[in-house]
Amino acid sequence: MHTHDTNALHSHEEKHFQSSATVRDVVIGMSDGLTVPFALAAGLSGAVGSNHIIVLAGLAEIVAGSIAMGLGGYLAARGDAEHYASERRREEREIVERTMDEEEEIYTIFGEYGVTRAESEPVLYALKRQPKAWVDFMMRFELGLEEPARHRASQSALVIAFSYIAGGCIPLLPYILFAAAGAALHASVLITLIALFVFGAVKGRLTGAGTWKGALQTTLIGGLAAAVAYMLARALTAHPL
């Protein structure tokens, strides 16, 4: 019985999702890629008779949009990394220059979890022997900051950009396959909604939010965004500035 319990203990593994930042980048790129090119193509389909022109305009938008979105992701990730580095340097100074204040912050942090000062003291003494660990602890539990992964900025830019391209090609595909703009528009609406549903289901499963919940939520929000963008595009093409 004891052996069985020991084996069960060793075989137990907690599975937690570790790629939330990557999923966030995919969501940002894919959702915009599905909605913006769709709205542009749909808006032009009522004003331009040639699918060739619609496809060229759509491809140009996908290229420009992917570059802009990727650059935005890169700058945001760089900003996060610079903020983390700046806060870490400040904490490294404070544990030396304001040691007593930092010790009180340790007691306060543990106190929020119902741990007394006496119970916190062994942990505090252990952290004081390891300044790096002390700083790591304060960064996570006082400031709520996690160290960004190396090359996070470039990875974020690439993931967002390629997700935008992948999403943008979906609503544009019917305009390549169909000769009539009306038929292409109807097919584009259908496959865009299907893509949003599938994308939402996968996202919900990966993040633990629920497959059906993620699918319905993404379809409704993405569909609404696409509809609003479509109406705006149609209005602008019907009444150019």
To the nearest whole number, what is the mean pLDDT of the chain?
82
Q: How confident is the model at residue 72 (pLDDT cuts 50, 70, 90)?
A: very high
Angle between helices 181-207 and 211-238 (to 10 degrees): 150
* Token pair recorded at residue 112: 């929020």
| Residue (of 172, 170, 135) closest to 56 by Cα position | 172
pLDDT grade, residue 229 (50/70/90)?
Answer: low
Distance between CA 63 and CA 33 in Å, rounded?
A: 10
Torsion of CA 195, 197, 201, 204, to 10 degrees: 110
* 6 — pLDDT class (breaks 50, 70, 90): very low
User: Which tens digits make up the pLDDT trace of 146-169?
Assistant: 888 888 899 999 999 999 999 999
**How many whole angstroms separate alpha carbon 54 and alpha carbon 165?**
16
**What is the C-alpha to C-alpha distance for residues 129 and 149, in angstroms, rounded to an integer?**
26
Q: What is the pLDDT at residue 159?
A: 93
Residue 28 amino acid letter: I
Dihedral angle computed from the Cα positions of residues 60, 66, 69 and 74, in that order, rounded to the nearest 10 degrees: -140
pTM, 2 dp:
0.75
**Dihedral sign, CA of 26, 28, 31, 32?**
negative
Q: What pLDDT does 97 receive?
A: 86
Percent of the chain with pLDDT over 90: 22
Q: Which amino acid is at 215?
A: A
In order of 153, 193, 223, the CA distances from 203 in angstroms are 22, 15, 16
Q: Where are the domains of the chain?
A: 20-238
Which of 6-20, 136-150, 215-229 is the least confident region? 6-20
Q: What percent of the chain has pLDDT over 70?
A: 85
Q: How is residue 152 written in tokens?
A: 């996070």
C-alpha 137/C-alpha 84 separation (Å) is: 14
- Specify the amino acid at residue 66: S
CA proximity to 192, closest of 213, 166, 158? 166
